[in-house]
Amino acid sequence: MPTGGAGQELGDDVEQITTALDTAGARIPGEITAAAHEDLAQVTQRLALGVDYTVVALVGGTGSGKSSLFNALSSLQFADVGVIRPTTSQAAACIWGSKATALLDFLQVAPDRRIQRESALDGDAEEELTGLVLLDLPDHDSVESTHAEQVNRLLPLIDLLIWVVDPQKYADNVLHEEYLRALAARHEAMVVVINQIDTIPVSAHDQVRDDVARLLVEDGLADVQIEMVSARTGEGVERLRTLLAEVIAGESVAARTARDEVSAVRRRLVGHVAAQDPAPPEAEAVAEDLATASGVPSVAESIRRAVASPRAVALAEVQRPASSRTAAIRDRWLGQATAGLPTPWREAVVQTVAEEAAFDEHVWTALHSQALPASTDRVAAAQRTAGLAAGGLGLVLLIVGAALFSSATAVGGSLAGAGAALLLVALVLVLVARTRRRRTAGERAEDFLHRTTAALTSVVSDDLVRPAQVPLGEHSSARAGIRGDAPVSTTRG
């Protein structure tokens, strides 16, 4: 098989879909998977024959000049021409550029009926025909049942059917042959070649062509191209070779068929994966919902107020959320984590995450195990106590100093001064204590909120997110493989 090209690409496609089916496993119904494998096996078979060839077959009645044309097109004297043997009972093949062994084996062309056109010897002249497999088929009027079978194998692989007629007998052996009509009906890429035009006068050419065209129209083959050639003189052979080169430049029927089969397999599978990969919410977001449901924000607020206050205030406690609340939060997460998934995939996700009761228990354990902080800042409390004491003492000194002022001015003045200074110190201490309490309050509330949310996040992570990642990841790669947007794993070349 030639490397690269459509064959390599389609082989990668088959591998990609096969891997996707393996990944999906039972999440795609067994009969669907089995049918897909069967279709892919057929594609593989096609690929084994090679899809980068262009198969051109010469058909027509005995003596029309198929074998002669085969020789003219290949510039070889390989096919048996009628003068030596009246009919060709065995197919012959000329191959340009490769051996096409599997293909010719499949078509039951005997090894000694194959000839290879070595492009190396021919140079550029034959380059444009590389990949061509030209077949000289057994004469259809000598066809036995074994040959009919050969033709049936061949038909789906033919890229161009060259129907050879001669100017004398075209009317009876072209269009009134059941066999040829059947061939034509099943083949859209066809050209009718009127051979042996050297045997009729040039003046009769148009007449013959018009007659054949009319008969083709009558048979519903109006679009078929007509070429006039002479295998003997070589007239028109070059035009035919140009036509072959054009067919070769396009994609082969086998490649197109394999591609269609691959697309059909993809189409049948695509409904068994989601159109989009679900995007479950982050664990942090779910943890915040759980925290709200358990009153965590109000507990944090009560911590802030209690610690900030100089008086002793009792802290609020975390409430166990109603199990219906945790169940609803779990359900909502599951809904988003399985959005658009076909049932078997959704069930796979549902089965892998923690059950309602377990989740509810884990949430409570996480909440419960978060210790509440102390409601007072000791340093701030001490600062405040010292401040109040200094304030009291300062006040006493001020009063005593004021009382002594008239009798002992100097002593009274100093006492009052000291008292005023102490009051100032007291004020500073009380203010420092208040600032410290507020800062500590903020820190402790924040810390509690943070610890609790982190604990809840790991519950959500352990119970929901992480377990679901397995089936969701498998779905994602199966989906990509089925749709054909997964990166190709094999190395090319």
Q: Is 62 in the site for ligand GDP (CB under 6 A)?
A: yes
Q: What is the DSSP letter of 224?
A: -
Site string for ligand GDP, 236-255 (x = CB under 6 A): --------------------
Of the candidate residues 16, 23, 54, 68, the single one contacting ligand GDP (CB under 6 A): 68
For 463, the token pair is 């119970």
Of the candidate residues 81, 200, 313, 372, the single one contacting ligand GDP (CB under 6 A): 81
From the list Mg ion, ligand GDP, none, partner contacted by residue 336 (C-beta under 5 to 8 A by kind): none
CB of 132 to ligand GDP, least distance (A): 19
**Other residues' Cβ atoms within 10 Å of the Cβ of residue 332:** 13
Q: Residue 375: what residue type?
A: S
From the list ligand GDP, Mg ion, none, partner contacted by residue 373 (C-beta under 5 to 8 A by kind): none
Site string for ligand GDP, 408-447 (x = CB under 6 A): ----------------------------------------
From the list Mg ion, ligand GDP, none, partner contacted by residue 116 (C-beta under 5 to 8 A by kind): none
- CA dist 315 → 62, 299, 405, 467 (Å): 107, 7, 50, 37
Residues that bind Mg ion (CB under 5 A): 66-67, 88
Q: Which is nearer to ligand GDP, 33 or 67 (CB)?
A: 67
From the list Mg ion, ligand GDP, none, partner contacted by residue 173 (C-beta under 5 to 8 A by kind): none
Q: What share of the chain is helix, strand, coil (3-state, %, to 5)?
A: 65, 5, 30
Q: What is the DSSP letter of 4?
A: S
Beta bridge partners of 94: 115, 134
Q: Is 11 in the site for ligand GDP (CB under 6 A)?
A: no
- Phi then psi for residue 145, to 5 deg, are -60, -35
Of the candidate residues 7, 11, 65, 387, the single one contacting ligand GDP (CB under 6 A): 65
Q: Is 259 in the site for ligand GDP (CB under 6 A)?
A: no
Spatial separation of the C-alpha atoms in residues 316 and 342, rounded to whole Å:
45
Spatial separation of the C-alpha atoms in residues 324 and 334, rounded to whole Å:
15
Q: Is 88 in the site for ligand GDP (CB under 6 A)?
A: yes
Q: Is 82 in the site for ligand GDP (CB under 6 A)?
A: yes
Of the candidate residues 67, 74, 294, 302, the single one contacting ligand GDP (CB under 6 A): 67
Is the Cβ–Cβ distance between 397 and 386 less than 8 Å?
A: no
Q: Where are the alpha helices (DSSP H) in 219-355?
A: 237-249, 253-270, 283-293, 296-308, 323-337, 343-352
Within residues 147-206, the interface with ligand GDP by CB under 6 A covers 195-196, 198-199
Cβ neighbourhood burial of 390 (10 Å; 0-12, 13-18, 19+): buried
For 450, the token pair is 């943070």
CB of 89 to Mg ion, least distance (A): 9
| Residues near ligand GDP, by CB under 6 A | 60, 62-68, 81-83, 88, 139, 195-196, 198-199, 230-232
